[in-house]
Amino acid sequence: MASASLCADAPVLMATQRANKHILLRLDRGRRVRLVREVYLRSDVPCCSELCRRGCQAPADGCASLPAALTHYVLPDCAAARAYWELFELPEVEGVLLTLTSLHHIQGAGGRRLYNRVKSQLRDPRQSTALFDNEFQAECWRDRRPGESEDQHAAGLNWSAARWYAQHLDYAIPIVLVTDGTVEPCQPEDKGGVDVLSVADYVARFHGDKPQVTQIFESLRASLAAAEAASSAEGSAGESTRGDYPEHLSAESLKAGVKSGQFLQGCLHVSRKSGQDTAVVSLSGGAQMLELKASRRDPDRRAARPEPGGARRHRVRPAAAQGLLGPASRRRAADGGLGRRPHGRVVGIAQRNWRDYVCSVEPAADGSSKDSGASKRILAVPWDRRVPKIRIATSQAAALASQRFVVRIDAWPADSQYPNGHFVRPLGAVGHLETETQALLIEHGLAVREFSAKQLAELPAVTEDQPWQVDPQEVAKRRDLRQSHLVFSIDPVGCVDVDDTLSVRRLDNGNIELGVHIADVTHFVKANSLCDIEARQRCTSIYLADRRYDMLPLLLSGNLCSLWSQVDRYAVSVIWELTPDTEVVSVWYGRTVIRSAYKLFYEMAQRIHDGEAMETAVPDIPELAPLLKRDRDLLRRRFAQLREAVSLLVGVANTIKARRMACGGLELEGVEVQAKFADPERTQLEDLVIAECMIFANHWVARKIVAYYPSQSCLRRHPPPRQEFFDSLIRCAQARGFTIKADSNRQLAESLDSCVDPADPEVNRILRTLATQAMSNALYFSTGALPRDQFAHYGLALDLYTHFTSPIRRYADILVHRCLLAALGDSEAEDALLPNQELEAQCCLMNERHRAAQHAQMASMQLFQCLFFRARPPTDPLRLVEAVVCQVRDSSIGVFVPRYGIKGSVRLARSDGSVLDAGPPARDLRSVQAAPPPAEAAPDGCGPRWIPAGSGASVSRDPSGGSLRVSTGPEQKQQVYSLFDHLVVRVSVAESHSHGPALQLDLVARLVSKDAGAADAGGGGKADLVRQVREREEQQEEERRWDLKRRQGEEEGGQQHLLQSTGTLYHFLLDTARRDAKRRRGSGQD
Ligand SMILES: [Zn+2]
């Protein structure tokens, strides 16, 4: 219903005066309701401007204010605000003043989605958008005159509001009333310091130099014009709707149906892999899944095709659509058919989840046509294969042909196969690394803006000449460890930012004191500051194959909160007193100031621990090296002290770990591994030591905060796996003669340790990966949201766990820091604590974004793999790699390529019924690489070949699920593919203009022997791959620039081709690949 304005709860009512306000609300399905509301007029409605000299009260909490340092304030009228709101959302458009009149208009006529967006912008202090409660302001309100239309009345109110502002602020800033011109505002003679502009004039005058603004304005205008033209054409032609799609039921019937149990309500998902014919609904409040399937022969297929994001009528969509299923599904669900999931159909949509879509357009068939400047409607093809094409109106169709760009959906008319949308912004040319990287961030919902000047202004001012220094007053409030403790950090080579440090020493009573010191991020990031709000939204730093996007501004993550050696830093510390066998005697928590003595890398710590002589080690320790020439006695003492500390630390950590492992802690790939930016392949002893200390700190912080805030602490839980998920793991292990017991985490850990094939290290690795896949994900949660018996962390075998040790790159740790400090009596931190419900909502967001960040990281890695292999000639022996079977499916096998960390699928049967005959097995990878490349159609008995359907060949999966049998013909030669079998596959890249490149794995040969040494065949694994591709891309980018410069000089076609071909081999190949792709598309085979 018409809610009171957001900021209307000012406490004091001054001279009040009653008036009546008529509100017209448009409900779902076009019904209108008229309400009459009494309003109390006041004279003290705040103006929310920093320019105010009349002592307005500061706006209520959570309401933005208008900055003083702007060129103007802009007040959009009702229609302009509704039609062009996206314009006013842009960070470039500042000082937006929205009246309550316009907000009510949006609520009534703009739909719920738009209304929610407007409200969330008004609440976001990062945006300088203010709401003016003009209808409560006595000087701005007037009753509707007889004969005056609702729109005219609203226009008049907005006009009064604009004039009031100009006068109230003593004409200190121009007020611009923006109108879309549909309603003539009754313009008085005296404009009272207000400029009235059309949206087009406003954009041209104030933002003409900002492409972001002009582009979206043009796009919105074209889209509105197209919608208008379509509706008038329909009106004049009287064209009947095609009626392809059955109407959804009314909201009332849906509600009643759900209540009576006739319909089921749930969240709809479409897998990226299973294509466009199947969707799954997970029902709210239960694990039961319903399947929605559209058969290929179904005449209604188009209508039933699952459409993510845009669901209407019969369509269904994944991820957060609340689908409502009809009677058929209910019946089949009741049948509870074994094996087959119940089916259903969507009868209504409770909530849509439209987002930004990355799109491209198929290149025009007639070659390059030039834009005539006229707007035309084109179909944009979303990057996400699950999303239908989106119809957009644009005047730049030809310019968009080779681009990726962002599109938003506006509506999906009942009679249309495609939803209507509009162009938002360009991302760049298809195929470029930058474009593709931005695309995958947007597709994973992770697009981030740069930190704004306002956000950066909250941080201390630091320059190179004036580095940041600790404040003596602040130091006095903290425990000072700078003299008393030897603090040091150990990180992977190349790691620049240090967020955790350690200290360890033997106490006089024979006990050991261990300290973990974490950067005190919350000292700099105050609760509800702009940086805090930004970090709360981002939740995590994002690590892609070649770059990262920080959660916090670089000044914090790369300086003030980086615990470098030889500088003073604020920290939050946990310090234990431990008995020699690591029983905890006491724990101290608190704020400290530290000065790390050494910033060590793993490898150096290992060398020190291994007893390397001082003479050879010290030159590699920058903090000690200067002493070599100056003071050898001091050096000897310092080095001995460091070696003692490192050795003590290793001893302590190993004991702590052994204790935890004895309780059933698991060492699994992917469970709580710290994703640091540097080399991901770390298996050093020191690495495990640091990780163990961090786990220890996280555990003890969890204990502390739960004790103080049992219902509003942020913890991390890892639910025990469902036993049935282990079945395939157990079967796989059996295939190799191993036994896995998964009754408890301890049994699982022990049996995984014993599954080792000395001849094939991949066996254990794959089994651990399978075990990880069988696990549930670890999740953040608020302790008030779950019963105590669900708090535990299964993988780490700890009853309580949280994240405390990386506040630079995870927001959860920031929440935990505040919670810990509050528990220690810090009143500021206590004020910032989130109540249970809010905390739980934030935990859900963090879980979602962590998952998205991981998926984006994988997608980025895959993109690099594609760029790497795309650059190699088809016959390059590097394309031939050894792969291990890690999964058996119905007509394909899942394989893992250890050399590049690639996971993929190898097809053994095609949808046309043909089956792959792999031929006789080969001896090893080298012999396959040495063999001449097979011709397209391999001669009999040499290399794999496809046997067409009908010649007796078949594929069948073993009943146990552990192997796949291929019978290759009448003579029934059988080829068996089992788990852990080694194969040789050829890696190639399947190009797609619309959806980006993808790796393709094709079987080249089966291997007889298990070639354990396959990983050494030249090249250097993942990190090397990323570096190579990155370097090539940069070089190419440079050449593109150079090329452009040259071309501007000489407009000659032949020259251009020559220039492009003079680049690197990589460049040449890339161009060839693109030309090939273009040709393929031309002949319609994409
Ligand atoms: Zn004021």
- The mean pLDDT of 395-423, rounded to a whole number, is 85
37 alpha carbon – ligand 1 mean position (Å) = 26
8 alpha carbon – ligand 1 mean position (Å) = 15
User: What is the pLDDT, as a whole number, of residue 1012?
Assistant: 41
Higher pLDDT pick, 1043 / 240: 1043
54 alpha carbon – ligand 1 mean position (Å) = 5
Q: pLDDT of 964-1017, one tens digit each?
A: 888 876 666 678 888 888 888 999 998 888 888 888 998 888 887 554 444 433
- The mean pLDDT of 6-29, rounded to a whole number, is 49
Banded pLDDT at 700 (limits 50, 70, 90)? very high
Most confident of 254-258, 423-427, 447-451: 423-427
194 alpha carbon – ligand 1 mean position (Å) = 17
Backbone angles phi, psi at 202, to 5 degrees: -60, -50
- The mean pLDDT of 553-571, rounded to a whole number, is 92
Cβ(181)–Cβ(81) below 8 Å: no
Tell me which residues have their CB within 5 A of the ion that is ligand 1.
Answer: 47, 52, 54, 56
Banded pLDDT at 19 (limits 50, 70, 90)? low
Is the predicted pLDDT of residue 1075 greater than 50, yes or no? no
462 alpha carbon – ligand 1 mean position (Å) = 35
68 alpha carbon – ligand 1 mean position (Å) = 12
12 alpha carbon – ligand 1 mean position (Å) = 16
362 alpha carbon – ligand 1 mean position (Å) = 54
User: What is the pLDDT, as a whole number, of residue 980?
Assistant: 81
Residues 6 or more apart whose Cβ sits within 8 Å of residue 1032 = 867, 871, 1064, 1066, 1067
Banded pLDDT at 21 (limits 50, 70, 90)? low
168 alpha carbon – ligand 1 mean position (Å) = 6
Q: pLDDT of 285-298, one tens digit each?
A: 544 555 665 433 33
62 alpha carbon – ligand 1 mean position (Å) = 18
44 alpha carbon – ligand 1 mean position (Å) = 9
17 alpha carbon – ligand 1 mean position (Å) = 20
| Cα–Cα distance for residue pair 187/208, rounded to 1 Å | 26
100 alpha carbon – ligand 1 mean position (Å) = 16
242 alpha carbon – ligand 1 mean position (Å) = 55
Q: Which of 287, 185, 226 is nearest to 725 (CA)?
A: 287
Higher pLDDT pick, 102 / 187: 102
Q: pLDDT of 131-165, one tens digit each?
A: 998 888 888 888 888 888 888 889 889 988 999 99
Q: Which of 531, 552, 530, 523 is nearest to 67 (CA)?
A: 530
The tokens 């981030």 sit on which residue?
448
136 alpha carbon – ligand 1 mean position (Å) = 14
105 alpha carbon – ligand 1 mean position (Å) = 24
Q: CA dist 1086 to 39, 990, 992, 993, 1080, Å?
A: 62, 9, 7, 8, 6
Banded pLDDT at 300 (limits 50, 70, 90)? very low
Q: pLDDT of 872-923, one tens digit each?
A: 888 888 888 888 888 888 888 888 887 777 888 998 888 888 888 877 777 7
User: What is the pLDDT, as a whole number, of residue 927?
Assistant: 76
171 alpha carbon – ligand 1 mean position (Å) = 12
| 17-209 topology per CATH | Rossmann fold (3.40.50)
140 alpha carbon – ligand 1 mean position (Å) = 14
50 alpha carbon – ligand 1 mean position (Å) = 8
67 alpha carbon – ligand 1 mean position (Å) = 13
| Cα–Cα distance for residue pair 997/475, rounded to 1 Å | 54
Domain ranges of the chain: 17-209, 453-718+792-858, 872-925+946-1006
23 alpha carbon – ligand 1 mean position (Å) = 27
56 alpha carbon – ligand 1 mean position (Å) = 4
15 alpha carbon – ligand 1 mean position (Å) = 17
Strands 512-519 and 998-1006: unpaired
CATH for 872-925+946-1006, options being 3.90.1150.10, 3.40.50.800, 2.40.50.140, 2.70.98.40: 2.40.50.140
Is the predicted pLDDT of residue 665 greater than 80, yes or no? no
457 alpha carbon – ligand 1 mean position (Å) = 25
Is the predicted pLDDT of residue 682 greater than 50, yes or no? no
Count of beta carbons in the 10 Å neighbourhood of residue 918: 20
Is the predicted pLDDT of residue 640 greater than 80, yes or no? yes
122 alpha carbon – ligand 1 mean position (Å) = 18
Q: Which of 720, 670, 667 is nearest to 851 (CA)?
A: 670
58 alpha carbon – ligand 1 mean position (Å) = 9
| Cα–Cα distance for residue pair 738/763, rounded to 1 Å | 10
Count of beta carbons in the 10 Å neighbourhood of residue 932: 7
- The mean pLDDT of 430-444, rounded to a whole number, is 91
167 alpha carbon – ligand 1 mean position (Å) = 10
101 alpha carbon – ligand 1 mean position (Å) = 19
52 alpha carbon – ligand 1 mean position (Å) = 4
Cβ(989)–Cβ(436) below 8 Å: no
73 alpha carbon – ligand 1 mean position (Å) = 14
132 alpha carbon – ligand 1 mean position (Å) = 11
| pTM given for the model | 0.79
- The mean pLDDT of 649-676, rounded to a whole number, is 68
Q: Which of 319-333, 376-390, 499-513, 525-539 has the lowest mean pLDDT?
A: 319-333
203 alpha carbon – ligand 1 mean position (Å) = 27
| Cα–Cα distance for residue pair 688/694, rounded to 1 Å | 10
55 alpha carbon – ligand 1 mean position (Å) = 6
CA-CA-CA-CA torsion sign (920, 923, 927, 929): positive
Q: 234 by DSSP, 3-state: which?
A: helix
198 alpha carbon – ligand 1 mean position (Å) = 27
- Give the strands of the sheet with 974-978, arranged side by side: 954-957, 963-967, 974-978
45 alpha carbon – ligand 1 mean position (Å) = 8
User: What is the pLDDT, as a whole number, of residue 1063?
Assistant: 32
139 alpha carbon – ligand 1 mean position (Å) = 13
